[in-house]
Amino acid sequence: MRKRNWKRLPALLGAGILALSGTLGASAAELKDLFDPEYYADTYADVESAYGHDADALWKHYQEHGMQEGRNACPYFDVRYYREHYGDLEETYGDDWSAYYEHFLEHGILEGRKGSENGFDAKDYLSRHADLQETIGEDPVALFEHYIASVRYLETEKPIPDIAETTKPQEVSEAAQTEAVTPEVTQPETSVGLVAINDLANKKSLKKRCTDEEFQAAYDAAVSIVTPLIGLSREEQLSGIESSLRSMFDSGQVLYSTEAAHYNDPYGYLILGVASCAGCTRTTGLCLNMLGIPYEHVNENQWKHQWCRVEVDGTYWICDALGLYVGPEPGPYIHPIFGGG
């Protein structure tokens, strides 16, 4: 998910200008705003095998083949679900796949139709955010815009600095890599009580696409976070991790991004200073694993809010620095702010 344009989506929807015409070529620029190349590659193994994660090649494949084959451009809208779930649309549009995108954006949201099985539901969203009744009311488009903005900004109490306005993603990556990727890698002795890097239970997930050197740098940076927590109760360890990672975000050491390099792994959070909820979750998971604590990455590789789920004395806790919560989950896979996983 290297290049997302979700920030533009609410404005485009609100202005009514994001409309996908019956033919793909006439609206390729608008559709490209919705296209998620990494999601596309991760979802379709045959495409990934042929094109890897080359965003331009993936976009070209989607234009020339993917749309006509009924493949999804992004995770929040499942075109096959939309077609099969609403028979009236299938009768009208048949195999004109682009028409389903257009209908959802121009009419479906207003009509309360869901774009995917677990997609946005205006009534449900309003029921979980009663305060919006006074500020937004029951306008489904406005609620959808708020939903997207909430995912993008994680409902923090202050605006998250725009990575595009502070430092361009390429500049963040190149500048940080000059300092952090190529230096001589020192490997200090692992603190007594910490799990060694090669023994981390979730190493494959945590490493994502980091090189060995980058993952080592992230591990070394996390040592200072977790070492003071050795020997404490599990509740105290979770609270300590959440507090440390949240303070990095609040102080501006970490900026929210879904575009900058390594935004979804610990190297991005701890070294480059950029992260999405996925990056924060993997950084939290790294800290947990270093302390020998098993966890579950909720909503991993999905365009939903993500967090760590940890067993604590027979109950399950949420550890979520960006989501502003650490504590018992209200129900299985239920987040007190973002709802069900």
- Could you tell me the end-to-end alpha-carbon distance of the chain, in angstroms, rounded to an integer? 19
pLDDT confidence band for 183 (50 / 70 / 90): very low
Kind of pairing, strands 255-256 and 274-275? parallel
Which CATH number applies to 163-340? 3.10.620
Could you tell me the CA-to-CA distances from 123 to 77, 114, 164, 246, 314 in Å, in that order? 18, 11, 33, 31, 34
Q: From the centroid of its chain, how far is CA 122?
A: 21
Q: From the centroid of its chain, how far is CA 203?
A: 19
Average pLDDT, the chain: 76
Which has the higher per-residue pLDDT, 24 or 122?
122
- Please state which of the ranges 142-146, 194-198, 292-296 shows the lowest mean pLDDT: 142-146
Kindly tell me if the per-residue pLDDT of 301 is higher than 60. yes
pLDDT at 105: 74
Query: Cα separation of 245 and 283, whole Å?
Result: 8
| Contact call for residues 329 and 318 (beta carbons, < 8 A) | yes
Q: What burial letters (b/e) apply to 24-33, b meaning 16+ CB within 10 Å? A: beebeebbeb
pLDDT at 86: 93
What is the reported pTM? 0.50
| Contact call for residues 101 and 79 (beta carbons, < 8 A) | yes
Q: Where are the domains of the chain?
A: 6-153, 163-340
Query: Cα separation of 307 and 81, whole Å?
Result: 26
pLDDT confidence band for 17 (50 / 70 / 90): very low
